[in-house]
Amino acid sequence: MADLRTKLGSLELDNPIIVSSGYATETESAIAKADAFRPGGIIMKTSLPNDEYVKVVKPYAPHRFPSTRAKFDSCEDGLMGAEALSTLSLELWAEWLAKNQSKFQSLLIASVAAVSVEGHVRGARLMEEAGAKAVELLLACPAPYFKPHKYTMTQDAQVVREICTAVKQAVKIPVGVKIMPFSYLARAAREAGVDWITLGGVFLASPGIDLETLEPKVPGAVFISGSRLYKYVTCKALLTVSKMARDVHFSAHGGVQDWKDAAEFILYGARSVQAQSVFMLKGFKVIADMKKGLSDYMDRKGFASIEAMRGAMVRKVLTFDEMVSLYAETKGKIIAEVDESLCNGCMICEEVCAFDAIKVPDGLAVVNADLCEGCRLCVADCPPRALSLTNMALMKKEAAAAAV
C-alpha cells in the first residue's frame, strides 16, 4: 500500500491533504469537523495582531466592524463570495489555541498576516507562545483592504525577503509563506530560509496530465483562456519553481476538487496540496475520498511514496523557449487530420481556423496541409472529437532537446 506520508518543511504529515486557511477553518466547530477526517494539516483562519487588525478592517468596513461576516453565492462549479478576515484578532486566536489544541488530532498551523514587518514578527511570536507547531505567513491574498499597505499582500520580492527573514530569525517553529506563484518571489522566500512555500494561482498555466499514461495532455502551455484557471495556473508555477531545487518544499493551492487534482499537483512538484472551496461545497468527508483515491492511484502506478511520485512530470513538459525552437522543425509536419467516421459537418473548425486551412464543402471537414499551422484550435473546439494532429511525437521533450 502506498505511503502517503510527506513533509511540510520539517513537519511530518500523515498525508498531503491540507485544509487551507479560510471559511472552512473559521471556527472551532469547523476545525473539529475537518479534524474528524484526519487531513495532513489544518491551517487556522488568518488574522492580524489586534492593533493592526483594527487599522485594516475598521477603515474598510466601519459599519460592520468588528462583526464582519462572509457572504457566498453559487457560481457555476464554484462559489462567489465576499469573505472577510477572521472576526478574531491573533491575540484571541492565540488564547483559543493555548486552551484547545489538545482536543485535536490533526496538526494545527497558525496563519499570520500584518501590515508591518514588526507586526508579522509579533504575530508569529504570539502563536508560537500559544503552542502553534508552525506558522504560515499570508502574502498572497487579493483582499482590497490590504491594498493600502506595503508590508502585506505583495508582488515585491524585497518585501517578501524582508518579512520572511525577520520572522525566521524571531521564532523557532517552522515558518512557511503563501505567495503569488512567481519564481522571483519563491526565490526571495527561499533565500530568507522559509521552511515551505505555498503557491496560489494567477495567470500562467501548464497542461493537464493523462494520469494513466503519465503524459501531459498537450506538450506545453504558456497561458490559458476562459474559466477554471486556478489548478493549471498553480501547476505552471510549480513547473517553473520546481526547477529551482529538489530540496525546496512546495505546497500547492487553488482548484483542488478531488484526488486527481491532488495527484497532478504532486506530479508537478508539490509535497502537499491545500484545498478550501471543495470542503465548503461538499463537506470534509471528501478528505477520506481524496486519501483513498490518491493511495489507490499510487498503488496502480507503482509509486511507493509521495516523494517517489513528486515532480515526475517536470521533465516532460516543454518550456516556452523549447516550443518556439521547434517551430521550424515541425512546420508542415504537425497538421490537423480528420477522422471521417466521427465528423458531423458542424463547420465549427472552418469558423475558428484563422489560416483558412479547413473547409467543410460537402458536410465533411477537409484540411489543406499547405495552410495548416498545427495550432490545435480546431482540435480543441471539435464537438465530436473528429480532429487530431499528426506527428505529435515531434513535440516530445526529447525532440525539443535534440532540436536546440
> For residue 64, what pLDDT is reported?
54
62 pLDDT tier (thresholds 50, 70, 90): low
Mean pLDDT of the chain: 86
* pLDDT tens by residue, 241-267: 565 556 779 898 877 889 998 998 899
In sign, the C-alpha dihedral spanning 168, 169, 170, 171 is positive
Q: Name the least confident of 113-127, 250-264, 286-300.
A: 250-264
* pLDDT tens by residue, 333-381: 999 999 999 999 999 999 999 999 999 999 999 999 999 999 889 998 8
Name the residue ranges covered by the structural domains of the chain: 6-316, 320-403
> For residue 146, what pLDDT is reported?
82
6-316: CATH, from 3.60.15.10, 3.20.20.70, 2.60.40.10, 1.10.1740.10: 3.20.20.70
CATH fold for the domain made of 320-403: Alpha-Beta Plaits (3.30.70)
* pLDDT tens by residue, 156-174: 999 999 999 999 999 999 9
* Residue 54 per-residue DSSP state: H
> For residue 221, what pLDDT is reported?
61
Average pLDDT over residues 294-301: 97
- Residue 258 CB coordination number (10 Å): 15
Q: Which three cell numbers stand for residue 347?
A: 463547420
Average pLDDT over residues 171-179: 97
> For residue 315, what pLDDT is reported?
79
CB contact at 8 A, 241 and 185: no
Q: In the chain, helix, strand, coil percent, each to 5?
A: 40, 15, 45
Residue position matching grid coordinates 491540507:
18
Residue 120 has pLDDT above 60, yes or no: yes
Tell me the percentage of the chain whose pLDDT exceeds 90.
57
202 pLDDT tier (thresholds 50, 70, 90): very low
Residue position matching grid coordinates 492565540:
94
CB contact at 8 A, 7 and 249: yes
68 pLDDT tier (thresholds 50, 70, 90): low
Residue 60 has pLDDT above 70, yes or no: no
Whether 6-316 and 320-403 share one fold: the answer is no
Q: Which three cell numbers stand for residue 128?
A: 508560537
Q: Where is mean pLDDT largest: 218-227, 245-254, 274-283?
A: 274-283
Average pLDDT over residues 1-30: 95
CB contact at 8 A, 249 and 223: no
